[in-house]
Amino acid sequence: MCHEADDSLVRLSLALPDEAATLSLGARLAAVLQPGMSVWLSGDLGAGKTTLARGLLRALHYEGRVKSPTFSLVEVYSFSSFNLYHFDLYRFADPLEWEEAGFREYFNPNALCLVEWPERAAGCLPAPDVEVRLAFSGEGRVAELVGRTEAGRRCLQRLVV
Ligand SMILES: Nc1ncnc2c1ncn2[C@@H]1O[C@H](COP(=O)(O)OP(=O)(O)O)[C@@H](O)[C@H]1O
Ligand SMILES: [Mg+2]
């Protein structure tokens, strides 16, 4: 793992040799993220974005099936004190749909938002606290995590200790 920190940026690179490692990164993120934050999950099809979301949800004790929201655009998970919204914007085409569906209100202090394919709704989405970029590396994956807000940077600092 390499860890680079300065005032403006926290950037981590992590090797994820197998699926279990991606699930475990999701679980570690679950321990440091707070309601009100938003996390972008970037990377090609099959890079492990949904797997990471699944690891995160399992760590929050969600026992059901974690479906890819490819067709619904969003899956909603209700916890006792907050909601988790898992977006997959791969099929997102129409900014008007964003407004009409009320997705803007999903980004609120009582919600943790995970967004796959954020680049597809670039003009609509609020800036993330943490960006996770997943890429193929041999049989496994690598993750790069970047803190984009003060709160996001603090999360990543807690992730490495
Ligand atoms: N670190 C990893 N190494 C190898 N395979 C992985 C890793 N993380 C996830 N996978 C596998 O990659 C496949 C696609 O993952 P998925 O999370 O659906 O990708 P995405 O949502 O980015 O399209 C799944 O079969 C999953 O088990
Ligand atoms: Mg996916």
CA 46 to ligand 2 center in whole angstroms = 7
What residue ranges do the domains of the chain occupy?
2-160
Query: What does the alpha-carbon distance between residue 135 and residue 14 come to, in Å, rounded to a whole number?
Result: 11
Which residue is associated with the tokens 């920190």? 5
The response to whether residue 42 sits with its C-beta less than 6 Å from ligand 1 reads no
Q: Binning pLDDT at 50, 70 and 90, where does residue 8 land?
A: low
Q: Which of 3-7, 38-42, 101-105, 122-126 has the highest mean pLDDT?
A: 38-42
What single-letter DSSP state applies at residue 50? H
pTM of the model as a whole: 0.94
> Amino acid identity of 139?
E
| Residue 16 Cβ < 6 Å to ligand 1 | yes
d(CA 123, CA 126): 8
Q: What is the pLDDT of residues 18-73, one digit of tens each?
A: 999 999 999 999 999 999 999 999 999 999 999 999 999 999 999 999 999 988 89
* 24 CB near ligand 1 (under 6 Å): no
Superfamily classification of domain 2-160: P-loop containing nucleotide triphosphate hydrolases (3.40.50.300)
Nearest-atom number in ligand 1 for the CA of 51 is 17
